[in-house]
Amino acid sequence: MFTDITKKIQKFILKNSQWLANIYSPHSTCFFFQNENKLLHLLDIGYFLDKIAPYVKQFEFEDKNIKYLHNMISLRNDVPVDELTNGHSQIRSLFLNSSENIPIQKSKLLLGKLKRIFFVELHSMHDRKLIITFVKG
């Protein structure tokens, strides 16, 4: 779910540059965040997302609706009938960013000692397009 992409971003930075890096994803179920790369902390983040939007909702009402409405493909005219269900991912996306800005000084990303940049895939892996833009500062 979480992939540290800090070193990959750093490789694109020119020498002696003062920039602002913007990392962006045009997809609706992949995102970025900045945080420490500590296993237990990442597990806590995953647990938080699972608690807010579990893959399958628990019974909440008498009607026993265990699906996200988004997953009821038969009710949607805008998708093929074999569309993968990802209602949980769409809800989780409300808590993450589709872009991140990081300042660059002396050709280094200005991150705290333990801070890393993570790519987050909330649905099954697909080929993803990540856009990195550098704005000269």
- Domain 2-136, what fold? Jelly Rolls (2.60.120)
Mean pLDDT of 63-79: 74
Q: What is the pLDDT of residue 68?
A: 81
Measured distance CA(60)–CA(31) in Å, rounded? 29
* pLDDT band (50, 70, 90) for residue 33: very high
Helices (H), 15-132: 39-52, 87-92
5 pLDDT higher than 60: yes
Q: Which residue has the higher pLDDT, 125 or 86?
A: 86
Using an 8 Å Cβ cutoff, are 125 and 27 in contact?
A: no
Q: Which of these ranges, 34-43, 97-106, 126-135, has the smallest mean pLDDT?
A: 126-135
pLDDT at position 129 over 70: yes
Q: Are 134 and 12 in contact (CB under 8 A)?
A: yes
List the domain boundaries for the chain: 2-136
pLDDT at 77: 85
3-state secondary structure of 137: coil
Indicate if the pLDDT at residue 126 is higher than 80. Answer: no
pLDDT reported for residue 132 = 94
Look over the chain and give the mean of its residue pLDDT values, rounded to a whole number. 87
DSSP H or E segment with residue 9? helix 6-10
Cβ pair 65, 58 in contact under 8 A: no
101 falls in which pLDDT band (50, 70, 90)?
very high
pLDDT for 59: 56
106 Cβ contact list (under 8 Å, min separation 6): 16, 18
When pLDDT is cut at 50, 70 and 90, the band that residue 60 belongs to is low
Residue of higher predicted confidence among 83 and 132 = 132
